[in-house]
Structure 1
């Protein structure tokens, strides 16, 4: 399908000449002798691009351009003038013109300008599409009262420059909330850079945050750009901020307050403008009382507090979440869709979900892999998720007192403790092993029937 161009000029020879030349190049060409006819044609035909003369009687080119951009901001406009001045070109650009061509017209220059404008429009449309997909991907699913309240808070806080502190248990979707905030913020066209405070070694934290110059320390063989610099103009997300040590907290606070820093081993001052979002599963007020978190940093981060509700407090969202995870998995793996039976859903609703949404996602994907039938039923669920199990699980640790043999009681306690930690980590063996300070093999061995 060939692009449609609208040529607007009060000089009939130029109008007909351009019409013929551009038609020969394969474009569909419309014409209009003045600004009024131009606006009527745009409303009726929706052309892909407008070639617009500036000097016309009645509604001139600049006024016509302003009207086009009010009602059809996505249509690129190339301005044409026989009396071009720098001021005129600046004015046209200010009101949204893509480019400016002077008469006498070179058809080669016109074709180059048209192709550039159409390619730019295509790129903009692709970016809008990708942005829409990204927003949908990062959307927080659910319509329960806690989630609706959370969404309202996010929509209100996202466009502001206020720092945001997201709190909540493991697996509740704190990073998802941070990405949603970024997508709806004024920084959405710039990067979102994540700093996993629990994963970066303390000794390397300052280098990761600020960067370093070549030779700044032993092993610094090349210049390294830090996270603050990478996030300039965008958002910097500190995940698990409660795991940062006091020394690094002080360094972070200084950069946030001054909005400038020097790379390690460097002397050049680098100014940065970043939106700060932090998240933690810890009670930072308690951490402050016990001397593990700086109070001044807490108040600097806690501009807008957001608390992620645990899954057990939003069970109305369970069916929707199961459906979304199922659809996503089947689409990714190109597998046949499966459904969860009523008995299975009732059992899932009775579970306490210590690992929250992450635990649910991992369970759904596990069942989609292992269950070889169209409908997943109660009998397909692992033992801890069956309806008859929650009460037994709840009393698991207290029942240890009934075991008379100390060795057996010790083994039973370790097994129950690991099972609970595994559930809190969404059945992610590697994450549970890391949090417990043991190997994955140790967990597998303890839980082996």
Structure 2
């Protein structure tokens, strides 16, 4: 099949990286993917792997311009199925060519906006979300965040550390994250800087931060202040890294959520999972079931205090770091491999392409979706801060 893959952007982030990696994998099943995305940091990756790319309007462009360009791309390339990622492309595709061409939605966020059309099958990333979607009467599939086990694995830790001139005796903590307020990611990075700042008074430690976003300036300023106070590099803000593998490989401990957390585990590193509202939790054999069911994320905690306690456990015991690193690698290999995800997605494509929907059901779904999305856009333009925050909590992050 000719499949149009529509990531929500081409910047750094787990969802769009997953979209590209899975599109590449689909060629093994005889499919011919075309990626429809605005230019961004990942455009170079698309070119390097020889994926056909059609330039889409920027995310902030009017929705009609995006839909018209997509419809033109569908006609010109003979598209037989559309696979849209995250809520905005999903919504736009449903009201555009998705009315005539089979459409599949993927939402890798921890919440699903209620205004998304209910007649379109949806792929989610956790068993908990899949069950919730089924309870709402949706056709729901599970494809957990895939990890390329060949690419993400440790082979030469000393070389990775030499890349950033890290002395041998230094404890390295790594985080790869978008530096945005979405899911309080940048807030978590700033908490990590606070913890490492305190640690640096007693031992050699280095925090590697790979990422970009609107919070990058705040992170770099905080890092510079910490480094000035200690007279050495304690916090190293690396910016965007197209290949994040060395950042994970250099680490003794990884901090992260979602696909970033899984990539750290693939490198056999102990993991402290980050979430919203002060959530930090060490991955252990006891805590693993909650993450396997609900996703690599959480909500609620003591913030920097919880992070400091988790890191202190790991700092004190090389044996614990090795044991939890091995446990994490085995967990990821057994459940989150890219090949496993690709097999599932190929089967989902076949189901979606051959499932004829009922027209009256589609019309009712689109009418409901139009009314809900109109309320969302009205709130974004005229609503209170509280109303906008509520929409963000429901997954409709602008």
Higher-Rg member (1/2): 1
TM-score normalised to the size of structure 2? Answer: 0.29
TM-score normalised to the size of structure 1? Answer: 0.26
Structure with the larger RCO, 1 or 2 (CA within 8 Å, 6+ apart) = 2
